[in-house]
Amino acid sequence: MGLAKRIAAVVVPLGLVVGGVAYGVSRHHSSEDKTLGQCTTEVGRLRVVLTDEQARNASLIAAIAIRRGMPAHAATIGIATALQESKLYNLRGGDRDSLGLFQQRHSQGWGRPRQILDPVYATNAFYDALQKVPGYADLPVTVAAQRVQHSAFPDAYGVYEKDARALASALTGYSPAAFWCHLSAPDRAPLPAATRARGLAAALLQAFGPVTVNVVTGGHLSLSVTSRPHGWAVASYLVARARELGITNVGYRGREWSTGSRRGWHHSAGPGPGVVVVD
């Protein structure tokens, strides 16, 4: 990573604080509430705050690792790499021809610029390369990331390891109810339930693969999940994309998240195991 890339990493819209505190300052907050538009992860004593854009990208990196059957350590490596390379923003420039979440280069065979700027393509390309690294699942984050990225600053990935591990644990579902966003309610009327179900299935397909979405009594949407971690990963992914999908509530295993809440998930009467319920 050269000087131009380091400058590009500074001018993205964020206020970076290393060490599990905050990586972004929301562009959606009002003067009355500076937490609106922020997404929070809390695992143990570690707290990581992202903008909703950063959270969407982090949740995608975690979800694609799940879809590919890769361990949570792969998601940690992917998120740490993207934090170092782009601060989890889909950058349209960088050092020489570097682009996107992972600052991949067309000239180095990562794909066409249009492809690299697609976060789904870029994340899969990163994992394609990571899976070719012998024993990557047992390697330290810095070593595994460097063998993919070939950075001039290989130790820089380690700066983000603890925060990436917390994000990966929450977003792959191994730390339940550990990720949430404080968002305003949608400013438009909800679409018909059947239309919302189709949109939700399409949004999940690129990240998790096929997920069954049904319309249930009261116009709620019910999503089938295969395990407790899978359920929490899907629920977290939906929270990260609630603004764009028009979601106001997500429920899973006796917990519920709602737009407007600053405190994350709260206890509720349902739903139980096996389904995530969305409004």
Residues 38-85: tens digit of each pLDDT: 999 999 999 999 999 999 999 999 999 999 999 999 999 999 999 999
| pTM, 2 dp | 0.89
Which is higher by pLDDT, 41 or 6? 41
Neighbours of 266 (CB within 10 A): 13
What's the pLDDT band for 15 if we cut at 50, 70, 90?
very low
Q: Is residue 181 part of a domain?
A: no
Residue 14 has pLDDT above 50, yes or no: no
Please state the φ and ψ torsions of residue 155, each to the nearest 5 degrees. Answer: -75, -15
List phi, psi (to 5°) of 169.
-65, -45
Q: Which two tokens stand for residue 36?
A: 């609106």
State how far Cα 156 lies from the chain centre: 21
Domain count, the chain: 2
Q: Which helix (H) or strand (E) holds 224?
A: strand 221-224
Residue 134 covered by a domain: yes
Are the C-beta atoms of 252 and 178 separated by less than 8 Å? no
**What is the model's pLDDT at position 204?**
96
- For residue 267, give the H/E element and its range: strand 266-267
| Residue 268 counted as domain residue | yes
How many angstroms separate the CA atoms of 100 and 74, rounded? 19
Residues 134 and 201 in one domain: no
User: Measured between alpha carbons, how far is 159 from 180 in angstroms, rounded to an integer?
Assistant: 23
